[in-house]
Amino acid sequence: MNSLVILPVLLPFLIGAVLILLAKKHQAQRVITSLTVLSMLAASVILAVDVYQNGIATMEMGDWPAPFGIVFVADMFATMMVILSSIVGVVCLFFAFSTISTEREKFYFYPFYLFLLAGVNGAFLTGDLFNMFVFFEVMLLASYVLIVMGGTKYQLRESFKYVVINVFASMLFLIGVAYIYGALGTLNMADMAVRIEETGQTGILNVIAILLLIVFASKGALFPLYFWLPKSYYGPPSAIAALFGGLLTKVGIYAIIRLFTLVFNHDIGFTHNIILALAGFTMFFGVLGAVSQFDFKRILSYHIISQVGYMVMGLGIFTPLALAGAIYYIAHHIIVKSALFLFSGATESITGTTDLKKMGGILKTHPLLAWMFFITAVSLAGIPPLSGFFSKFPLILSGMQEGRYIITAVALLVGLLTLFSMLKIFIYAFWGEQKHTDEQAAKKIGPILLPIVPMVLLTIILGFAAEPIFSYSYGIAEELLEPSIYINSVLGE
């Protein structure tokens, strides 16, 4: 029993509820929200250190013993994800301070921002499938509000589609929960794992596994369910797009990795080969979408799709090395992708557009922005010594070792195309003739850039300190591939 486990969820949730009362005082909201996210970051780091030293921490709600009550489980994977979500939460918030309009601030921007973080952290930490559904809904409802906030025609139109698709996927989630309850008689994930081990993963359980895979694939933007993502992430302001692009799809990926390492791990030849095929298609079509676009934000949105493929590829290969690579990749991706979305916001605040054909010459007027973008972009493409290289390397290596040559070839090709489309952004937006006015060129963007600096530093650190970080992700992968550790710490011996 460790009450610290609930803190990353409870903190943003309670403060967010209080902030609704202070809706009109946006200065007070700013101060309280930043204190909240900073203390959430501190709490998540303390929790992660505790879990790293003392093993998995659990908390049973209302002292009802698992599997009867709802249980919160903080293992190394969950705590790492909570740290990442807190980092993105802090950075995007400080970026929002200098870019978001006062109208949005007065229309409950901060409460919903905190509710979103509470939902994300809750989905990472919970050990109960139905509770995960609830936290998904908390997160999604907050995301619906944030994505439509501002109410332009474009936002309304695309948000409606986003909402409908997500509500439909949530209903499928609920149906999957019902089937699991009918088949296994429990919703506690550790208990589910125990019972599947007893009964064997028979036909009906494979069907349920694929149903839940469809649910999380549509939330995590896997092939062929990614079609909603690029358009809906284009609408909201960059601070929100960065938060979404960094976090939301990764919650779906987290759920896939959790379920297919802990619960549905007895018929790997069937489920994990499907996952591997999905990963290949996701990477390939995602990056083709990115290559064909000529808009800063759209290219980045399509890259979310192609990179989600890498994470799932690590799960599909299903060796400790591959899974460690996937986890490393999640860490790298969350940081780099949020940073790139924030850069798109920074360039938009200079040029007033995200269309690459209308941009140019930013390198001359704002060299710091350009070079910081360059570091992050080549990191995304996987150039050593940045984090992208060291996260792709174990994935490719394990693909070779396991003889999965097709997926490895696809992964390498996608890396090349990623580099191509990142350089396309750099060439069109930062090189060439200056297309923005001198007035725009004189704009000081120091306060906008400042929150992104830690992200750029983090991608450099994740690259140069690859050894300790890789061994940490290898530890996570070994823990994931040994489900008895998780089960024993939840249910007792």
- Shortest spacing between CB 293 and other proteins, in angstroms: 11
The Cα 79–Cα 76 span in angstroms is 5
**Nearer CB in complex with other proteins: 187/221:** 187
**Nearer CB in complex with other proteins: 182/352:** 182
**Nearer CB in complex with other proteins: 149/193:** 149
- Shortest spacing between CB 145 and other proteins, in angstroms: 8
**Nearer CB in complex with other proteins: 48/180:** 180
- Shortest spacing between CB 321 and other proteins, in angstroms: 39
**Nearer CB in complex with other proteins: 189/456:** 189
**Nearer CB in complex with other proteins: 14/171:** 171
**Nearer CB in complex with other proteins: 130/431:** 130
**Nearer CB in complex with other proteins: 55/185:** 185
Angle of helix 268-292 versus helix 405-425 axis, rounded to 10: 20
Residues in contact with other proteins by CB under 8 A are 130, 133-134, 137, 141, 144-145, 148, 151, 153-154, 156-160, 163-164, 167-168, 171, 174-175, 177-179, 181-182, 187, 231
**Nearer CB in complex with other proteins: 55/157:** 157
- Shortest spacing between CB 150 and other proteins, in angstroms: 12
- Shortest spacing between CB 144 and other proteins, in angstroms: 6
- Shortest spacing between CB 143 and other proteins, in angstroms: 11
Instruction: Label residue 60 left, alpha or beta by phi (over 0 means left) and psi (-120 to 50 means alpha).
Output: beta
- Shortest spacing between CB 184 and other proteins, in angstroms: 11
Tally of CB atoms within 10 A around 224: 11
- Shortest spacing between CB 178 and other proteins, in angstroms: 4
- Shortest spacing between CB 355 and other proteins, in angstroms: 10
